[in-house]
Structure 1
Amino acid sequence: MPRCFSPSRAHSLASCVAAIPLMLGIAAPASADEAPVADDAGESIVVTARAQKLYRVTNTEIGKIAADPMDVPQSVQVINSEMIEDQGARDIRDLYRNVPGVSADNYATVTYRGFSQDVTYYDGLRGDPFQTFSVPQLFTIERVEFLKGPAGMLYGSGSPGGTINYVTKKPGDVFGGNVRVIGGGRNRYGGSADVTGPLDAAGDITARAGLFYEDMDSYRDKASSRTFVGDAGLAVKLAPDTKLTVQLTDYDQNLPGNRLRGIPIDADGNFYAKRSWNHNDPDDYIRYNGLVTQARLDSKLTDALSFNAAARWFKYDEDQKYHEPVALRDTDADGVYDTITREYRDQKRKVDGLSFGANLVAKVSTGSVDHTILLGGDWYRENSSGTNYATRSVPTRSLIDPDYTTDSRPDLSNVTPSYSDARALRRGVYLQEQMGLGEHVILVAGLRRDWFDDADYIEGADASAAATTWRAGAIYKPRKDVSLYVSWSEAFEPQSVTDQSPLAGGPFAPETGSQWEVGAKTDLMDGRVQATLAAYRIVRRNVLQIDDSQDAVNGIDQLAPIGEVTSKGIEATLTADITNDWLVSANYAYNDTRVTGSVEGQAVDRSVGGRFPNAPQNKAGFWTRYQVAAIDTAFSVGGQYVSSQIDRSGDRLKPFTVFDATISHDFGIFDAKFRIENIFDKFYAVSGFTGPKGAYIGNARSWFVELRRKF
């Protein structure tokens, strides 16, 4: 068999890719939509890639009902599989630059219209298997849906910034699949294969199976990652209009030296260490294993009535051994920090969750008014437990000349561990009415009631409460491809169970959020020009702060819900065909998030002064693709700009601009892609922690070559 990853053997590499379907025993019929078209000379011509074909999405369930984004009275953006593929995205962080108002926070957490967001959904259900230091992978994802602003009426508790919903890949009705191999810089290599299609002649039973593996070194010293994903699905038609889909996904990650914090910075955003610096030792690691099982039943009961019900169970285990930065030190008294003290931690965490959701949708007409009525409910329970050993009896780490050869894993036999054991329970019911008044007006109104119960079994604390949220909106369509809308929506988020303790002055009402939004959406020239413009104002209340007017009780600070934060902004997106072969996608967001209600001399958690941390005021991104059909090649260039921010300690994070590029070529038997990211090797911070934990940094320059065979 030829060597598949020798840079000098491109032809052998192509042979490897072409041979994979044969080794798997898979026949590879060409898809009519994907096969190149031959001209009289026998040359292949790449199918024209236009905006209305590549990136256009005309259906989303982010609002619980299948609808065109043009008919949703809130800002909605969907990144579909074509854009994920076109940009070579491997995890969710690769997509942020396409979505105005969304920027990186840390790990899987994002800043969403000024607020940190760490709750995500899969096919409309809670049950995120990536909650701490692992990042959501995209191999199993068909599209990612972003709903901007509060979504309490639709999804229950959550941040007012917005909602992220991952739509997973399902078994297809038509046979197809693809095989990929990848090789690149920093010893990167890997591959994936997936296949889908019917299992019986009638097509009543369909299936999907996929495998993904990738191994690569980090730009941080002594750090690397190995990721495996196995995914399978089975769909069965129980009746002509009833389908049951069952899915199973296994995730396994080994991240040596990769439980990473940032690089420490000074007040002006200058780094104290090189980008490659690592506070971990070579034998530190995160090992993660997650398992997800999901089932959904869809049934059309009558022409006017449809029903769906879904369940999702997940669990994951994380084993972490790492060194946490503790404090900066100036050992030579020159006024510049050159050393950091560390704490060694040995942690084990187990999480499991179970969620249910059901929706009944009725579509009826009364005279000239069309009604779409949604009645639904959901239930979610999550259990988490952990064991944590920690000691500061470990060597310091130089910021200037780090020594990674010393074995600093301490003896923990005399260390007393701390334990965690908690449960979160959420349940809610909701009702929404959407009315179509002729061809030009759509009105939406919905109401939801939620109950939550949280328990900390170690501390013996518990908290429970209820909340009501609603949303309303109106859309005016002067023509079918233009929507003008206004909406009001609300959100709530329970306080943490530890803050609910009566010893701290609790229990407290949940944090609440509300938003006004106005905007316009277009889908002009049959999708050739897709644009959105939105303006919003979000107010978040009941943010807890330490109440300095009260004395501490038995060493416990007294809290009070006296914080308010306001986020205001404008967002715009444009995707357009400049010519038949030239596509451009661009976006811009302005956001001003500030503390607007606070006791004098106090600051809301994770804020300094008037500005909120990790909330850039200006963010812009673009992606352009030009296809040269005569040579079966597409050239793409993208970039993003993010303005200055502050971290949680008030230090400034400098603005940055980065670019990337892709060249794709159709060789007939396979497609090839060369991609380079951070072309000019910019050393930049995307968000900030606190002083010693530093600034979370963007990837160094990297490249890869991917070969793919579709069938």
Structure 2
Amino acid sequence: MSRSLVERLSYAPLCQFRFNRLILKHVLLAPLALGVATVHAQSAPMILPQTQIVADPVQDTASTEGSDSYKPALVTVGKVAAQPKDIPASVTTITRQRMDDQHMTSVDEALRNTPGITAVTYGDGTSYFQSRGYPAEVQFDGLPANNGLQYLPQFDLALYDRVEVLRGPAGLLQGFGNPGGTVNLVRKRPQDEFALTGSVSAGSWDRYRTAWDVTGPLNDSGTVKGRFGFAGEDENAFVDKTGSDQGLLYGSLAFDLDPDTQLTVGAAHQKIRLDGFDYGLSTYTNGSFVNAKRSGFYGTDWSHADTDMTELYADLVHQFGNGWQNRTAINYRTSDVASKYGYVDGPVNLDNTADYWLQRQHDRYRWLGVDSYVSGPFELFGRTHELMVGINYASTHQRSVSGGTSGGVVDVLNINQPNVDIPYTFGTTSDTSQVGVYGQVTFKPTDGLSLIIGGRQNHYESSRQTRLPSVQPTVDDPTQNKFTPYAGIVQNLGYGLSAYASYSDIFTPSQAFQSTFNGSVLKPRTGKQAEVGLKGDWLDGRLGASVAVFQIDDKNRPIADDAHPTYWVAQGQARTRGVETELTGKLLPNWDVQAGYTYLQSELRGQAAVAGTAQDAEEPKHLLKLWNTYRFQAEPLNNWRVGGGVRAQSRTTRNNTSYQGGYAVIDGLIGYQINPHYDLALNVNNLLDRTYYARVPSSYYGLYGDPRNATLTLNVKF
């Protein structure tokens, strides 16, 4: 009988792990010790137990781990697992294989390499992400968490099996939010068979990293499975005087309560420390870029940010039979960020002097999501159709305090600020909540035609309160109730092709602080998206392609009232049109590719619009992303692989005041499989050392993109 996970782990040496550079360097020896221990544990013949496997269409069948593919068999961003070709929308998945091949370790890196997504680096170790002219929303394993992605730290990518991205409005799934798209971060889950994977790496700027993951049955019958892992990283950035270290611990347990019911519970905890982080430079007062070196540091020696993140989750899946199932899930995430820093406060004078600001702040966030739905087939008029109905609740709480003081006028090329005490002088709390009932019916009048009709009735509440300098009464925003419809059609054309069309409504609640001069609250933002496209699926599902054309119309956008400062008017209108194409999968059994091109044309419209002004100037009109890996099969190169890719974009700007021309960044990979258990890979980013801005400077700070850098990784797998 095979050993359980607990028995196998008893062979691994006990060690204490601390996430700092000294320990990480010594951990480079860990794969050898663990490899020897695991080989010893596997020396006896292994016979897997006879186990009743509980199928979970929502998660397990869509898992990309171990698939060795860039193309997922199924996606779950629509809750019920479905093939990408059957979804009447643009959907992209960054699989576990793609992450590993390109040595992605953060959500930022995954989205930066996702077709159709623009990732912009922010100075505090976070980023913001745009799609189709709007900020992207986020789901944590299918549970919506509005305002949980932008400008916020995220868990290490070691926690996730895949990153799914649906571009365009997702009101049916997300509730109220932005129409740009939704990112679904899907966690790894306990597996039925024992597996131990790990990696250690060293790279440019003294970057050291290790990540280990173990999963498998915890009892002889296999009805209890577990997964445990950690990841630690320590590095100095290419910017002078900056660095970071972080550590992640996670674990989950899956219980087969009976042959038809599975309960999964899990938790994750991560700490992040940024030292000397820097927001970069703005432009000169005449609008030109400051002529400064890429590695220049414009913060303070004592700048730092400490992040403490925790996540608890559970889901219960029950199979009723005849294809019907229920999934009920809950997710609770907290993020605590304390920081103190300094930055260049506005444009730089031509003599390289500028105002300087010192700031201290502490933000606490809490997200709670609960979701329950049933789905399955039903018979009508002699044909089989599909139904999904559900209800979910999501709430967000934020408590923030901050304070600041002037650092005077400084020479930006020689900043030396003392570490002064900065009291908190401003504080607020805010709460939002929404509850929605949603449903979707997929009618199949013929074998090749699917008609999809759905909608969501949503109830939204929000409030805010000033806590400093004095406690003020709570201000409640207007309660919003809105039905959001959705419709789509998919027609199988044969030869692996399908055509689709879809329509989505947009609704974003108004906020109480955005009032008109006469005291009324602004009208809610409304709009719609229409999308048509073609999808292809060939080579038994190993290769997929898509092309989409879309238009988003957005009305009642809040804009500042020029005649009455601090007040607003709902005159803003915008139209975004575009084309998206993508190719993902295996061109050959040993050649994986993921490529996407986006053409985006966005403009502000209406009374307050300036002709030709883009709705989101930081998103390029042309965006190309490509990555491919080729694994040699013939000797003497049969253990080698090579990979490469490019991220290219056209001209962009911030605030239409400073512009960056188009550029391309090329990345590369060379790898060697030492044996079935050990693999060595060298990833080189920005191979040609292209100088570019990851965030274009404007009246406030901008940041250079990373220069050429390399990482050598030893991967271990048993």
- Which TM-score tier does this pair reach, normalised by the shorter chain? 0.7 to 0.9
Q: CA deviation at 1:353?
A: 2.2
Q: Which runs of 5+ in 2 are unaligned?
A: 1-12, 14-25, 47-65, 467-471
Contact 2:239 2:297 in 1 (8 A): yes
The aligned residue for residue 418 of structure 2 is: 408
1:473-522 CA distance string (max 9 Å, x none): 000002273211011012222234422x5777342233223111110111
Return the alpha-carbon distance in structure 2 between the equivalents of residues 487 and 520 of structure 1.
Answer: 12
Change (3 A) 1:513 1:376: same
Alignment of 1:123 onto 2:141:
yes
- Per the TM alignment, residue 425 of structure 1 is displaced from its structure 2 partner at its CA by 1.2
Matches within 5 A, 1:329-344: 329-330=348-349, 332=351, 338-344=352-358
> How many angstroms apart in 1 are the aligned matches of 2:284 and 2:532?
39
**Do structure 1's residue 571 and structure 2's residue 585 form an aligned pair?**
no
Residue number in structure 1 paired with 2:127? 108
Q: Does 1:375 find its partner at 2:389?
A: yes
Q: Within 1, Cα distance between the matches of 2:647 and 2:399?
A: 39
Aligned to 2:617: 613
Aligned partners of 1:101 and 1:113 also within 8 Å: yes
Deviation at 1:269, TM superposition (A): 6.8
Question: Does the CA-based 8 Å contact 1:14-1:670 persist in structure 2?
Answer: no
- Alignment of structure 1 residues 225-264 onto 2, 5 Å: 225-258=244-277, 260-261=279-280, 264=283
Q: CA deviation at 1:586?
A: 2.1
Q: Of 193, 205, 214, which aligns to 1:174?
A: 193
Does residue 191 of the first structure (1) align with residue 210 of the second (2)? yes
C-alpha contact (below 8 Å) 1:348/1:388 kept by paired residues: yes
Partner residue, 1:323: 342
Aligned letter for 1:456?
Answer: R
420-429 or 130-139, larger mean C-alpha shift: 130-139
Q: 2:629 aligned to 620, 625, 628, which one? A: 625
- Give 3-state SS (helix, strand or coil) of 2:172's partner: helix
> Structure 2 vs 1, CA of residues 572 and 202 (structure 1 numbering), >3 Å: closer, same or farther?
same
Equivalent residue letter for 2:164: E
* Residue 652 of structure 2: aligned partner: 645
Partner Cα distance (2:91, 2:45) in 1: 31
14-23 vs 157-166, greater mean Cα deviation: 14-23
Secondary structure of the 1:54 match is coil
One-letter amino acid matched to 1:93: D
Matched, 1:482 2:497: yes
Q: Distance in 1 between matches of 2:187 and 2:609?
A: 47
SS in 1 for 2:345: strand
Offset at residue 576 of structure 1 (A): 5.5
Q: 1:516 to 1:261 in 2, by over 3 A?
A: farther
Instruction: Give the aligned partner of residue 43 of structure 1.
Output: none
For 2:21, the equivalent position in structure 1 comes to: none
- 2:545 corresponding residue in structure 1: 531
Percentage of pairs with the same residue: 25
1:562 partner SS: strand
- Measured against aligned partners, the alpha-carbon deviations of 1:579-632 in whole angstroms (never above 9, x if no partner) come to 44334432211000110223367x9xxxx9355321200011212222223230
Partner of 2:108: 93
User: Could you give the per-residue CA deviations for residues 630-653 of structure 1, whole angstroms, max 9, x where no partner exists?
Assistant: 230101111110111111253212
- 2:325 counterpart residue number: 306
Q: 1:369 to 1:262 in 2, by over 3 A?
A: farther
Contact 1:649–1:691 under 8 Å retained in 2: no
Distance 1:666 1:416 in 2: 55
For residues 349 and 24 of structure 1, the distance between their equivalents in structure 2, rounded to whole angstroms, comes to 44
Check whether the contact 2:70–2:585 (CA below 8 A) recurs between aligned residues. no
- Give the AA of the match of 2:213: D
Q: Distance in 2 between matches of 1:382 and 1:496?
A: 15
How far, CA to CA, are the matches of 1:488 and 1:198 in structure 2?
45
> In 2, distance between residues paired with 1:656 and 1:165?
29
1:214 partnered with 2:233: yes
Query: Counterpart of 2:604?
Result: 595
CA shift in 2, pair 1:610/1:584, >3 Å = closer
**Contact 1:505–1:559 at 8 Å: present in 2 too?**
no
CA distance in 1, matches of 2:436, 2:292: 49
Question: Which residue type is aligned with residue 567 of structure 1?
Answer: T
Residue matched to 2:568: 559
Q: Which letter does structure 2 place at the counterpart of 1:374?
A: M
After TM superposition, give the deviation of residue 187 of structure 1 in Å: 0.6
Matches of 2:207 and 2:43 in 1, distance apart? 31
Find the aligned partners of 2:509 and 2:200 in 1 and give their Cα distance.
45
CA-based RMSD of the aligned residues comes to 2.8
User: Is 1:679 the equivalent of 2:687?
Assistant: yes
The question of whether the paired residues in 2 share the 8 Å contact of 1:98 and 1:587 is answered with no
Deviation (angstroms), 1:689: 6.1
| The 10-residue stretch of structure 1 (246-255 or 650-659) with the greater mean CA deviation from structure 2 | 650-659
Contact 2:202 2:209 in 1 (8 A): yes
Tell me if the contact between 1:269 and 1:653 (Cα under 8 Å) persists in the aligned partners: no
Return closer, same or farther for 1:624/1:314 CA change in 2, 3 Å cut-off.
Answer: closer
Give 1:22 deviation, angstroms: 4.7
1:137 Cα shift?
2.5
Partner of 2:56: none
Verify the 8 A CA contact 1:262 1:697 in the aligned structure 2: no
User: Quick check: 1:346–1:388 contact (8 Å CA) kept in 2?
Assistant: yes
Q: Which amino acid aligns with 2:385?
A: H
The alignment partner of 1:327 has SS state of: coil
Matched residue of 2:539: which SS? helix
User: Measured at CA, do residues 267 and 133 of structure 1 come closer, stay the same or move farther in structure 2, by a change above 3 Å?
Assistant: farther
| Residues 328 and 339 in structure 1, CA contact (< 8 A), matched pair in contact too | no
Compute the displacement of 1:427 (Å). Answer: 1.2
Query: C-alpha separation between the residues in 2 aligned to 1:597 and 1:503?
Result: 20
The residue aligned with 1:36 is none
Q: Is the 8 A contact 2:390 2:437 kept in 1?
A: yes
User: TM-score with structure 2 length normalisation?
Assistant: 0.86
**1:384 alignment partner, one of 398, 414, 422:** 398
The partner residue of 1:494 within 509, 519, 538 is 509
Q: Which runs of 5+ in 1 are unaligned?
A: 2-11, 33-50, 333-337
CA contact (8 A) 2:328 2:373 kept: yes
Q: Counterparts of 2:512 and 2:36 in 1: how far apart (Å)?
A: 56
Give the 3 Å change call, closer, same or farther, for CA 22–258 of structure 1 in structure 2. Answer: farther
Question: Within the alignment, does 1:155 sit opposite 2:181 as a pair?
Answer: no
- The aligned residue for residue 666 of structure 1 is 673
1 CA distance for matches of 2:511 and 2:130? Answer: 20
Matches within 5 A, 1:409-424: 409-412=419-422, 417-424=425-432
CA 1:129–1:614: 2 relative to 1, 3 Å: closer
Q: Is the 8 A contact 2:283 2:348 kept in 1?
A: no
Are positions 1:514 and 2:532 aligned together?
A: no
| Superposed CA offset, 1:208-232 (max 9, x none) | 0001001111111111111111110
* Deviations 1:457-478 (CA, angstroms, capped at 9, x unpaired): 2153211212221110000002
Q: Does 1:64 align with 2:79?
A: yes
CA shift at 1:560, angstroms?
Answer: 1.5
Letter of the 1:330 partner, please give it: N
Does the Cα contact within 8 Å between 1:388 and 1:419 map onto a contact in 2?
Answer: yes
- Distance of 1:300 and 1:582 partners within structure 2: 38
Q: Deviations over 1:177-199 (max 9, x none)?
A: 21211111101112111100011
